[in-house]
């Protein structure tokens, strides 16, 4: 039956009645009341009920490798998936379960996922951002904030979210990309302009997350009454960030040493008035809400289209990254943590984490490495929490604040020197983000140098460092365009150095046998690739090579 979305006032009233019903009649028991809650929610949004809307309760979802099934509380394809938890439970703790359900809910995967504990709705849009909800709506706010769940209306409307971090990140990237184009457009050297923009990004991010004194970069911009003063103030700050020691007074009081090499060179040009205005506008962004993917987006936005295509460079969103990181890194380590039952076994898991190494041989701006590091830090925290639980039962002092997972164990290679610098910065910032998320006491500054871990090199002609897992999104160039894009000399070297790869295979295929041959027994690899690797000679050179040489194609 077709229903019509109620007018705004009627909708708000219906939702208020839904809120009142939950508070008066439901205790928040997941098993006995979840279906009633969902049905009442659908009725409040203008449907005759869950079934009448076409949604399914207790929707069956196959587990990994088709080994059994699990059940989502409500599935309404292609709109949303709702997973209920008991009242008082923190919905965010079940983020992994929701992501797993969503990943396996094919075909017609729902756009939105809602985790709800009867009193709060955590709304996820995994196609836009993975690690945080796009909005969190308390039940009592639903009557006035219903636009965030407009996808539940009979006639679907575009929802309005208040925590859309991708939108914030893209806006910030657009501002900084504009600054780069202004600088390069008036003759500033490309590398100099890119480095300056990246230095500004790091400074703005750092002042918003506590690595720099609050608003110190913005203050330099606002205090400057002329381009010459801005030159003195901004470059003075950058020089201080590259100087050991902490000033006790003056304009740069309490600025700590950053290390890392990014600020070792300060640009020698003066910003024009219009460029200063763009930078001031960018500095007003809440950079703590900008995701590390900003660096990748910024990198792509500052490259010429032709250069991006020649390198096969392309931006990979977090959803695609997690589809690689989850089975290659998260699932195996989660299994080990779950199976460890004694203090000694958990200690061994943590020790093994400390020597676990990840490689992205075409790392670009470091997005895969960032996500892999973030997930490993979360797994480390889970193992330490389990260790502390075991120790508390024996009145033993809890595990101290100590990191087993180091950024230097996340290695990368790329042919683009600026991308390599971006990747280093991304990984250095990852340390601060993980420390804040996990509420540990780790001292982030000075930032750990990534110079040895992430290098500017061509992975097809350079030895790869030893790694336990190899991940990434290798560059894609169609086989008919390799000579035109990379040149005859480069193309002629490929078959000589890599005879296992057919000359009629796409460029991405070279990475598969290389990854297989460089992994130790039991190692894992995961690449994002196009469907062409399943076809003809490209398949022979990639997937078939892996299987024919003792590997498994999952």
Domain boundaries in the chain? 8-152, 165-290, 318-548
66 pLDDT band, cuts 50/70/90, is low
For the chain, what is the radius of gyration of the CA atoms? Answer: 26
Separation of alpha carbons 200 and 230, rounded Å: 13
Beta strands 524-527 and 469-472 are parallel
Beta strands 112-116 and 80-84 are parallel
User: What is the four-CA torsion angle of 193, 197, 202, 208, rounded to 10 degrees?
Assistant: 160
Whether the per-residue pLDDT at 549 is higher than 50: the answer is yes
Handedness of CA 170, 172, 178, 183 (dihedral sign): negative
Residue 122 host element (H or E): strand 120-124
Provide mean pLDDT across the span 348-355.
Answer: 97
Provide mean pLDDT across the span 413-437.
Answer: 87
Residues with Cβ within 8 Å of residue 475, at least 6 apart in sequence: 311, 312, 313, 314, 362, 507, 508
Residues with Cβ within 8 Å of residue 127, at least 6 apart in sequence: 111, 317, 319
Separation of alpha carbons 30 and 285, rounded Å: 40
Comparing 314 with 386, which gets the higher pLDDT?
A: 386
Whether the per-residue pLDDT at 171 is higher than 60: the answer is yes
Roughly how many angstroms between the first and final C-alpha of the chain, as a whole number?
Answer: 43
Whether the per-residue pLDDT at 456 is higher than 50: the answer is yes
* 80: β partners: 76, 112
Length of the chain: 554
Whether the per-residue pLDDT at 397 is higher than 90: the answer is no
Q: Alpha carbon of 111 to those of 159, 291, 443, 463: distances in Å?
A: 11, 21, 39, 42
CB contact at 8 A, 81 and 102: yes
Full-model pTM = 0.81
458-482 pLDDT tens trace: 999 999 999 999 999 998 877 778 8
Comparing 190 with 359, which gets the higher pLDDT?
A: 359
Q: Does 318-548 carry CATH code 3.40.50?
A: yes
CATH of domain 8-152: 3.90.1570
Most confident of 2-6, 148-152, 416-420: 148-152
SS3 content of the chain, % helix, strand, coil (to 5): 50, 10, 40
Whether the per-residue pLDDT at 536 is higher than 70: the answer is no
pLDDT at 396: 43
Number of H helices, E strands in the chain: 21, 11
Residue 383 host element (H or E): helix 367-392
């Amino acid at each position: 039956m077709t229903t019509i979305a109620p007018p705004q006032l009627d909708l708000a009233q219906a939702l208020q009645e839904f809120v009142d019903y939950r508070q008066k009649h439901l205790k928040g028991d997941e098993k006995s009341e979840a279906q009633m809650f969902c049905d009442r929610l659908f009725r409040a949004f203008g449907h005759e009920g869950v079934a009448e809307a076409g949604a399914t309760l207790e929707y069956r979802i196959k587990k990994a490798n088709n080994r059994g099934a699990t059940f989502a509380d409500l599935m309404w394809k292609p709109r949303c998936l709702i997973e209920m938890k008991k009242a008082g439970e923190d919905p965010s703790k079940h983020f992994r379960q929701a992501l797993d359900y969503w990943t396996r809910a094919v075909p017609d995967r729902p756009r939105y996922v809602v985790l709800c504990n009867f009193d709060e709705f955590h709304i996820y849009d995994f196609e836009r951002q993975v690690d945080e909800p796009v909005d969190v709506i308390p039940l009592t706010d639903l009557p006035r904030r219903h636009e965030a769940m407009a996808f539940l209306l009979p006639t679907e409307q575009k929802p309005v979210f208040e925590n859309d971090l991708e939108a914030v990140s893209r806006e910030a990237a657009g501002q900084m990309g504009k600054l780069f184009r202004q600088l390069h457009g008036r003759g500033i050297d490309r590398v100099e302009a890119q480095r300056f923009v990246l230095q500004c990004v790091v400074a703005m991010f750092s002042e918003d997350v506590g690595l720099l004194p609050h608003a110190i970069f913005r203050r330099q911009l606002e205090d400057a009454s002329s381009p010459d003063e801005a030159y003195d103030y901004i470059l003075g700050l950058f020089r201080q960030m590259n100087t050991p020691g902490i000033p006790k007074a003056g304009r740069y009081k309490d600025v700590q040493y950053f290390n890392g090499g990014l600020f070792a060179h300060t640009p020698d040009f003066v910003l024009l008035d219009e460029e200063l205005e763009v930078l001031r506008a960018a500095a007003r962004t809440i950079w703590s809400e900008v995701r590390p993917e900003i660096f990748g987006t910024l990198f792509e936005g500052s490259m010429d289209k032709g250069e991006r295509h020649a390198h096969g460079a392309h931006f990979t969103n977090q959803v695609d990254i997690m589809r690689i990181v989850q089975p290659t890194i998260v699932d195996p380590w989660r299994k080990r943590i779950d199976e460890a039952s004694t203090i000694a076994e958990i200690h061994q898991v943590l020790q093994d984490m400390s020597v676990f190494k990840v490689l992205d041989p075409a790392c670009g701006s470091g997005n895969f490495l960032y996500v892999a590091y973030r997930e490993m830090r979360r797994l480390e925290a889970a193992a330490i929490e389990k260790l502390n639980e075991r120790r508390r039962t024996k009145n033993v002092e809890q595990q101290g604040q100590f990191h087993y997972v180091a950024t230097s164990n996340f290695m990368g290679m790329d042919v683009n020197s600026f991308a390599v610098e971006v990747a280093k910065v991304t990984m250095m910032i990852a340390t601060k983000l993980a420390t804040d998320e996990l509420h540990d006491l780790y001292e982030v500054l000075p930032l750990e140098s990534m110079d040895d871990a992430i290098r500017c090199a061509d992975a097809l002609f350079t030895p790869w460092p030893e790694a336990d897992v190899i991940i990434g999104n290798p560059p894609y160039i169609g086989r008919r365009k390799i000579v035109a894009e990379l040149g005859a000399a480069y193309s002629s070297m490929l078959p000589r150095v890599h005879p296992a790869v057919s000359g009629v295979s796409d460029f991405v295929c070279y990475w598969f046998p290389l990854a297989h041959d460089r992994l130790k027994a039991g190692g894992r690899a995961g690449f994002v690739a196009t469907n062409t690797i399943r076809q003809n000679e490209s398949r022979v050179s990639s997937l078939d090579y892996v299987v024919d040489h003792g590997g498994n194609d999952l």
